[in-house]
């Protein structure tokens, strides 16, 4: 099972994105676990996930997150601002899966 971490400032604003991604995964019959966490949980949480996507509002933290994730061979990127704003679960799921495959 693939595990995807979404990160925002407090872990709340990405909850709708998580829901839409999960709906897209069910439609595709994919086994994925998707969770949202706050930035303060990133360092501990990334160890249990295959990749992480940061919400656009904390894109300025990308370099720090990549530095934490690199020794663990985990990829971290930001969510496209348009996809985030439109809550496009399909595209965001595709983006996350591309980081894992």
Any residues with CB less than 8 A from the CB of 97 and at least 6 apart, and which?
2, 32
Q: 18: closest CA among 74, 80, 75, 84?
A: 84
Selected catalytic residue, list 5, 6, 7, 8:
8
Give the residue numbers spanning the domain of 21.
Answer: 2-100
Residue 52: CATH number of its domain:
3.40.50.2300
Per-residue pLDDT reduced to its tens digit, 23-77: 999 999 999 999 999 999 999 999 999 999 999 999 999 999 999 999 999 999 9
Q: Residue 10, by phi and psi: left (phi above 0), alpha (psi -120 to 50) or beta?
A: alpha
Residue 65 is a catalytic residue: no
What total number of domains does the chain contain? Answer: 1
CA 3 vs. chain centroid, Å, equals 9
pTM of the model: 0.94
Q: Residue 11, by phi and psi: left (phi above 0), alpha (psi -120 to 50) or beta?
A: left
């Amino acid at each position: 099972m693939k595990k995807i971490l979404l990160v925002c400032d407090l872990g709340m604003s990405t909850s709708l994105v998580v829901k839409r991604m999960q709906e897209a995964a069910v439609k595709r019959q994919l086994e994925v676990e998707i969770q949202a966490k706050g930035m303060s949980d990133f360092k501990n949480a990334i160890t249990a996930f295959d990749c992480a996507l940061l919400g656009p509002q904390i894109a300025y933290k990308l370099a720090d997150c990549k530095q934490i994730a690199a020794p663990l061979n985990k990829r971290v990127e930001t969510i496209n601002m348009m996809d985030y704003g439109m809550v496009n679960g399909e595209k965001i799921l595709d983006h996350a899966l591309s980081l894992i495959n």
